[in-house]
Amino acid sequence: MSSSTLPSSSNNMKCDVISSCSNQINIDSPTTSYLIAEAKVNGIRGLVLLDTGSGLTIISFQHWSIIGDKSSPPIPYTGPDIHGPEGSSICPVGWVTVDIAIAGIIIQHKAILAKNFKHLILIGNDLMKNIGIVLDIQVNKMWLRTKPNL
C-alpha cells in the first residue's frame, strides 16, 4: 500500500439505518482539512486520516473485523444518521473503544463503526482536540500543543 493512498471500501453497501431529515449529523470535510499520519490502533500500525472537518472518529466496519477486539462487541449506535462530505449516509452501526497511539501519546477513545465509509480510520476533532494535535495543512505537518484543551 502506498503512503499517498488509502484503500477504500465499497460505496454500494446497504445499511440498516433509516435517515430522518431533521435527525442528521453532517460531516463536512473539505479536502484541505486533513493529513495522513502513521498511528497504531489496537496495537496495529497503519495510516490514519486526521480530519479537522470531522467532529467524530470513525472506523470502517469492514476494517474493524481485522483490528477489532473480538471479546468486546460494539455498542449499538442509536443516534442520528451521520452523513459524509458527499452527502450520503456513512451507515453508523456501533460505538467501540480503541487504543490509539499517535504522536507519542496512547489514549483510549470511542469511535463510530460505519458500514459505508471509504477510509479505514478517520481521526476526528474529538480526539485531536482531546490530546492537542494541531494540523498545519500548508506544510503537511502535525504538532502537539502543550495545553490541549485551551
Q: Which domain holds residue 97?
A: 36-144
The answer to which of 64-68, 89-93, 142-146 has the lowest mean pLDDT is: 142-146
User: pLDDT for 15-60, tens place per residue?
Assistant: 443 333 334 444 444 445 678 999 999 999 999 999 988 999 999 9
The answer to whether residue 23 is domain-embedded is no
Percent over 90 (pLDDT), the chain: 54
Per-residue pLDDT band for 139 (boundaries 50, 70, 90) equals confident
Q: Has residue 1 been placed in a domain?
A: no
pTM for this entry:
0.74
Q: Let me know if residue 14 belongs to a domain.
A: no
- The model's confidence at residue 149, banded by pLDDT at 50, 70 and 90, is low
Q: Give a yes or no: residue 111 inside a domain.
A: yes
In a domain, 150, yes or no: no
Report the domain count for the chain. Answer: 1
Q: What is the pLDDT of residue 45?
A: 96
- What CATH number should be reported for the domain holding residue 85? 2.40.70.10
Q: Where are the beta strands (DSSP E) in the chain?
A: 24-26, 34-41, 44-51, 58-60, 75-76, 81-83, 92-102, 105-114, 121-123, 133-136, 141-144
